[in-house]
């Protein structure tokens, strides 16, 4: 299926520490 | 042995790979020479890394554009994937640069990378924000102006996501009409 992400899910990652 | 949750180290892949372009109006150069590819990304994490690193649209100089397009599509009418298409156009008044521009553009980006238009997301080519003294513009570009179902679905979802009141309308124009217009306005093929 298509990888759909809703706005709240996406916004939740804005200030996450970067992956290492 | 320690089991590490994959959520903590695997980035979240997007359906598409996207390219962010920047246009700076330098009248001594050709239009194409003023257009620069900034970066590409294909995960949620890399989208934010780029977004958080660059200037907000409202801080750009007049004459500048940001464009976000699916990888392989250039942000111009002439591209094979754009030339039969058109755009849902939001024209903003001068007060809206302060009030609405940055949140409308971010919402537009989230609609694109999150594939907000369901089965019709495949028809989306990209989006453009134009910073202009006379009034800024934001548009979502789609591939085929004759695909009524896709165009109107995308328009309805987009209008709702931006929080545009029911009584206000936004229009969809084909790039062919925009390219050949004689006056300052292009006729709408669809309105939602």
Higher pLDDT, B146 or A19: B146
Q: State pLDDT tens for residues B37-96.
A: 999 999 999 999 999 999 999 999 999 999 999 999 999 999 999 999 999 999 999 999
For B63-120, give the DSSP string: T-EEEEEETT--SSTTSTTTTT-EEEEEE--HHHIIIIIHHHHHHHHHHHHTTTTGGG
Phi and psi at B50, nearest 5°, equal -75, -50
CA–CA min distance B140, chain A (Å):
17
Name the CA dihedral angle for B40, B7, B122, B47, rounded to a multiple of 10 degrees.
Answer: -30
Higher pLDDT, A1 or B49: B49
CA–CA min distance B50, chain A (Å):
10
Query: Which residue of chain A is at minimal alpha-carbon distance from B107?
Result: A7
Q: Which residues of A touch B44 (CB under 8 A)?
A: 5, 10, 13
Predicted ipTM of the assembly: 0.90
């Amino acid at each position: 299926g298509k990888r759909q992400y809703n706005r709240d899910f996406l916004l939740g990652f804005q200030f996450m520490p970067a992956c290492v | 042995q320690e089991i590490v949750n994959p959520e903590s180290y695997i980035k979240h892949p997007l359906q598409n790979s996207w390219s962010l372009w920047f246009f700076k109006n330098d009248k001594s150069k050709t239009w194409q020479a003023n257009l620069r590819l900034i970066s590409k990304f294909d995960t949620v994490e890399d989208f934010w890394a780029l977004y958080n690193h660059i200037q907000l649209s409202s801080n750009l100089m007049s004459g500048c554009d940001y464009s976000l397009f699916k990888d392989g599509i250039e942000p111009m009418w002439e591209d094979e994937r754009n030339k039969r298409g058109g755009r849902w156009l939001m024209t903003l008044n001068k007060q809206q640069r302060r009030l609405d521009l940055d949140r409308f553009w971010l919402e537009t980006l989230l609609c694109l990378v999150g594939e907000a238009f369901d089965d019709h997301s495949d028809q989306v080519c990209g989006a453009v924000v134009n910073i202009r003294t006379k009034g800024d513009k934001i548009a979502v570009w789609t591939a085929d102006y004759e695909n009524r179902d896709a165009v109107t679905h995308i328009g309805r979802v987009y209008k709702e996501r931006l929080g545009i009141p029911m009584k206000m309308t936004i229009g969809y124009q084909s790039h062919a009409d925009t390219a050949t217009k004689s006056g300052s306005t292009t006729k709408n093929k669809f309105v939602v």
